[in-house]
Amino acid sequence: MSSSSDVIVIGGGIVGIACAHYLAKEGYGVTVIDQATIGAGCSHANCGFVCPSHVLPLNEPGAIGDGIRSLLNPSAAFRIKPQLRPNLYRWLFQFARRCTHRKMLESGANLLPLLESSIVEYRTLDSELRSAGEWKENGLLYVFRSEAGLDKFAHTDGLLTENYGVSARRIDGADLPEFDSALKHGLAGGFFYQDDASVRPDKLIRNWSTHLAEAGVRFVEHCQLEGVHRSGTHISELHTSTGTMTAQQYVIATGAWSGELSAQLNCRLPIEPGKGYSVTMSRPERCPEHPMLFPEHRVGVTPFEDSYRIGSMMEFAGFDTTIPARRIRQLRDSAAPYLEATTATATEETWYGWRPMTWDSLPVVGRIRGLDNALVATGHNMLGLTLAPATGRLIAELASGQPTHIGIDAFSPNRF
Ligand SMILES: Cc1cc2nc3c(=O)[nH]c(=O)nc-3n(C[C@H](O)[C@H](O)[C@H](O)COP(=O)(O)OP(=O)(O)OC[C@H]3O[C@@H](n4cnc5c(N)ncnc54)[C@H](O)[C@@H]3O)c2cc1C
């Protein structure tokens, strides 16, 4: 097969789809290729939080100590599988270097405009498309069992308000069951970020890609990018598992796999797969009404129209494809102390996804130095669903030579 388009987007996750959306809106003929099926990567069964409240990066003071303690605890949410890959240890070293108060605040300041832009962009999506994706502006509730956990988070909440103007409503433990009847009595309290929203990611992707296909975007599944042919500063051709393809511009939106393509693109994209799991179950009686996070147990719970999901974990284990039963049990057990609702209703799906993790917790959006027709949209860490629309808009602006609506220097692919 040989084919040509204005722009080829490589990767049909939420980021690739958002890029296709904004490029098509700009008038480009767009083809999206994916090595598997559209939306089957990390975007499929994540927690579905669209969370502008997540301004602070993973690189925070104390992250290294927490990480080391986790390594000694086999049931910790964070795990590193020992492996002989120097790239992983370089990544961890670079991550650790950035765990300072100053760097943390700096990262947050860089991320804030992208978060704010994304929630605005979500609201501009076609309302039928949003509701088909179960879009709900129902906030995000952080719940704590212990007074110590609540007090520690109060400090974080203060930082968010003081530095970024992101504020939450504090809810006393005694009031939590009234706020959401799925919560147990006796919890310490919570913080409710009312500007956050949620979607059901698989439904959003299915409906968004159908909507784009109807508008003329071409989707090619089971088509893996294997190599690129360069002529000078141009990519002239893609070599894929189904033949060669050409376009005027190319967008690399390959999520956790992006690091593997760096050599082809003559750049460094130090992106590690950060594996997480989720379990989706039928709705219990007294299902949570709000999306929730239980930071002391590091799990998130999201109610959907006909099911609910618990998700968590961060494993650096390479491209490991297993779903150990103990990890799924752990998800259910971690949420149980907070919920009146049972966490043992019928399982609809158990899942893992590889988050595209960068060592500075910031995404990679921009043009690759030395390649004038290649754009990168990857490295969205734990926030790809949240940040996809603003990223797509940036990619369309860059492709068409317009000024970007927010500054993107901090996201440059040439920063590594
Ligand atoms: C448990 C869990 C919970 C999460 N919860 C949230 C949340 O609540 N909110 C949030 O914002 N984020 C969340 N995330 C993070 C979010 O899921 C990711 O950041 C996001 O899905 C990344 O999107 P992507 O499009 O970059 O990658 P992907 O969805 O992985 O898409 C990349 C695509 O590229 C394709 N591809 C790769 N290489 C090639 C190639 N060579 N040729 C062709 N195609 C290729 C892949 O097949 C894949 O379909 C969560 C992640 C996990 C694991």
User: Domain total for the chain?
Assistant: 1
d(CA 67, CA 73): 10
Residues framing ligand 1 (Cβ under 6 A): 10-16, 33-36, 40-43, 46-49, 224-225, 253-257, 276-278, 311, 353, 355-356, 378, 380, 382-386
- Tell me, what CATH number does 389's domain have? 3.50.50.60
Residues of the chain with pLDDT under 50: 1-2
Token pair 């009234």: residue: 178
Cβ partners under 8 Å of residue 35, min gap 6? 222, 223, 224, 225, 241, 257
Q: Is residue 363 part of a domain?
A: yes
Q: Is residue 314 part of a domain?
A: no
Q: What is the identity of the amino acid at 131?
A: S
Q: Is residue 261 part of a domain?
A: yes
Q: What is the pLDDT of residue 4?
A: 65
How far, in whole angstroms, is CA 336 from its chain's centroid?
A: 25
Q: Is residue 282 part of a domain?
A: no
Q: What is the pLDDT of residue 5?
A: 77
CA of 202 to the centre of ligand 1 (A): 11
pLDDT tens-digit series, residues 231-256: 999 999 999 999 999 999 999 999 99
Q: What is the pLDDT of residue 1?
A: 44
Domain region containing 231 = 1-61+100-135+196-271+359-416
Q: Is residue 113 part of a domain?
A: yes
CA of 321 to the centre of ligand 1 (A): 15
Q: What is the pLDDT of residue 266?
A: 87
Quote the Cα angle for 242-243-244, to 5°: 140
Q: Is residue 240 part of a domain?
A: yes
Q: Is residue 69 part of a domain?
A: no
pTM of the full structure: 0.98
Q: Is residue 107 part of a domain?
A: yes
Q: What is the pLDDT of residue 3?
A: 59
